A and B are shown apart, each in its own frame.
Chain A
Amino acid sequence: MDRRNDYGYRVPTFQSKHPNGEERTGSNYRRIPWGRRPPPPRDVAILQERANKLVKYLLVKDQTKIPIKRSDMLKDVIQEYDEYFPEIIERASYALEKMFRVNLKEIDKQSSLYILISTQESSAGILGTTKDTPKLGLLMVILSVIFMNGNKASEAVIWEVLRKLGLRPGVRHSLFGEVRKLITDEFVKQKYLEYKRVPNSRPPEYEFFWGLRSYHETSKMKVLKFACKVQKKDPKDWAAQYREAVEMEVQAAAVAVAEAEARAEARAQMGIGEEPRYSFGIFVHTAA
């Protein structure tokens, strides 16, 4: 059904178009496995269109802060252009950087999980309080305890801290709700924390670690600085932690440089970097 004649029709959000103009919904595509189709030819305009859709998709998916799976992107947005996934995602990544000041990062190469992080520190500290629950404050305290304790903290230790701060398991908190669920479930799903059973522990005991997202959204050095700012100490006073933090910074810097180079090369090759273009179809009606 050609919908271009509908007044209500706008740039389609997540419906895809087959190159020859037919429109199909996602459900049709599932009947024909993509592996059997011949890959569609490379058309930059269409790739850019998919990239733009992917941008919107990612922004919406990011609302829950649960990392986004590559398989979901392929199924919901990329569809028959899965061959061109690297280019589409690079275009989307470029748009996200330039227009939304957000970096798209693959945090887990094995499970292909992606997150969005800001390119610059939030100005919320300067602007004042936000309406959201102060979950990041709680998270930061937990991350500090874990790191300062040697990169892991038993559940017992964490609850000692939380109790001191007025939070109890099983008691609904006015700001955080059910705290136990927040730290063992929500933060874990979002990959801010890891909650693992101590091997061979009977009865089972658990301990907390930093999650993959935490390593990207903050760093050991930043958390050390936070902890030291609170304690009015110099980070160097915590010699072991400081050494560890410095080591991580050096590693992260090296990785960042390599990534930036690879990205620049890929973008040059794909012709990404010209300004985003808006394209419209206009129907020219001529009468004799």
Chain B
Amino acid sequence: SKNKRCSLTPRAGNQLTPSLPHFVEEGEEAEEEEEVLTKEVEVGADGVSAMHPDLLELEVDREKCRNIRRHYRQLIYCVQQNREDIVRTASESLTEALEEADVLFDCVSRTREAVLDAQFLVLASDLGKEKAKQLNSDMRFFNHITFCDVLFVFVGLNWMEAECEEFSDCDDSIASFFWETVQKEATSWMLRAETFHYIFGSFKAEHSARKPRLEHHKRSCKMEGNGDMPMKLKKLDLNANQETTEKEVERILGLLQTYFEKCPDVPVSYFEFVIDPNSFSRTVENIFYVSFIIRDGFARIRLDQDKLPILEPTNTSQVDEENDSCSYGRKQGVISLSLQDWKNIISTFEISEAMIKNSY
């Protein structure tokens, strides 16, 4: 009969890894087989199954020890298999195992068995430590299965009404309802940031062939997290904006020229022209579009006697003014506008409505 080969790999959490006993066990098994062999040889050689009485006594001893070792190993194996049970529940199984080991130890007289006893003690004390830890920390055992039942109640699922016995058999709509309710509750306990998505690229002032662009955008959206994404979006942006910008610039130029025609000698205050008192973002867009008008030479901007910028048409003949310190050629200017500046300008200039009306 072969001894049960129990694996001595330590279970989860068992920090003490006795590697020595493992070797010992291997050696033992080999030795035992040897012993069995010699016994057989002895019997064979004699022809009769009688042995020398001294040898017989030795043999009985060896058998006893083998039994003890077998018992120890069984005990250790059992305890390891039931580890979870021993630690978690209030069962007496650990105490019982210790008592059993005690009884076994009474018969132990040789080192080999004592080693196994020590091994068992190591295991038992480890488990004892875990049990004690749980006791001290005053941790009531959280029953995860009960938690699920309680969840159903919390969501409002009445098992009487539902036609299914188990949640997994339930209708899809019930499952949806359950998870949506849980989701609603969960999000109120989390600080997850909303993800930001561009809708269709930048804001478009007019309807246009959206379909092909939407596909582009969807494709690029799928590459989330890919470093390439920013480049692709930029390409899309350009395509979308080219015509819009041109159209807007033309439209605003038209407005400006209309104004110049109506009041030919009155220059337009730059701020009064670009500022939309109702929308900071529209103001910023207006500034952007006007900059193209100026760059292309359809209007020019200069500072008047109060050092405030004004817009003038460029097709009227220019006479060098003494105040005009600008020389021939292009000049680059930067206008910086914050929310507060915008508000200040509106109140200072008493701007009540935008000169550049929206086209939509």
Contacts and interface: CB of A to CB of B under 8 A. Distances in A.
A282 B338 contact: no
Contacts, number: 277
B287 A280 contact: yes
Given A63-B196, A280-B335, A148 B189 contact: no
Contact of A222 (B10, B189, B330): B189
Interface stretch (A32-40, A118-126, A249-257, A260-268): A118-126
A144 B330 CA distance: 67
Interface range for A: 35 or more
Nearest to A104: B193
Contacts of A66: 225
A14 B234 contact: yes
A262 to B, nearest CB: 21
B291 A282 contact: yes
Interface string A144-173: 110011100100010011011110100000
Contacts of A148: 142, 144, 147
A188 interface: no
B40 interface: no
- Chain B contact patch, size range: 35 or more
B192 A136 contact: yes
B230 A230 contact: no
Contacts of A198: 12
B179 to A, nearest CB: 4
A175 B12 CA distance: 34
A180 interface: no
Contacts of B301: 282, 284
A57 to B, nearest CB: 7
B189 A284 contact: no
Given A279-B336, A285-B314, A145 B144 contact: yes
Interface in A238-283: 238-241, 274-283
Given A8-B238, A134-B179, A164-B167, A217 B191 contact: yes
A92 B139 CA distance: 44
Contacts of A231: 147, 150, 154
Interface string B159-186: 0000000111010100110111111111
The 5 closest A-B pairs by CB, nearest first: A134-B183, A137-B182, A137-B183, A140-B186, A125-B188
Given A60-B229, A148-B144, A205-B12, 15 more contacts: A66-B225, A100-B196, A117-B191, A121-B188, A125-B185, A130-B183, A135-B183, A145-B144, A150-B139, A166-B168, A166-B170, A230-B154, A240-B140, A284-B302, A288-B328
